[in-house]
Amino acid sequence: DTGVSQDPRHKITKRGQNVTFRCDPISEHNRLYWYRQTLGQGPEFLTYFQNEAQLEKSRLLSDRFSAERPKGSFSTLEIQRTEQGDSAMYLCASSPPGGQARAEQYFGPGTRLTVT
């Protein structure tokens, strides 16, 4: 199975520390998305890459958040100086090329972040 994978699955960190998450999309998918999901809510969009280009960022993505996709394959999401409000599930999704901007997205298992 070559679905979307994320690492780590769980991360506990102390307030003020930096954390980095990795996402490996489905291999032929050129679009990659990051979302944040808090308890009892649906995912909220954070940012979007097409190949290596970061094309869109949500206002939710404060200056402490940065995402990269340097070679158009895997992506990383870094949170600097974590705050307790950053505690959430961080989901990565990918979708295939072909010009279908309204296509379905395939999600990874998520990284659950707990900031103590």
Q: To the nearest whole angstrom, how small is the minimum distance from the Cβ of residue 53 to another protein?
A: 16
Q: To the nearest whole angstrom, how small is the minimum distance from the Cβ of residue 55 to another protein?
A: 11
Q: Does 19 bind another protein (CB under 8 A)?
A: no
**Cα 51 from Cα 22, distance rounded (Å):** 16
Burial class (CB in 10 A: 0-12, 13-18, 19+), 69: buried
Q: To the nearest whole angstrom, how small is the minimum distance from the Cβ of residue 16 to another protein?
A: 27
**Cα 68 from Cα 78, distance rounded (Å):** 9
Q: Does 101 bind another protein (CB under 8 A)?
A: yes
Note whether 93 and 35 are within 8 A (CB): yes
Binding site for another protein (CB under 8 A): 4, 6, 33, 40-45, 56, 91, 93, 101-110, 112
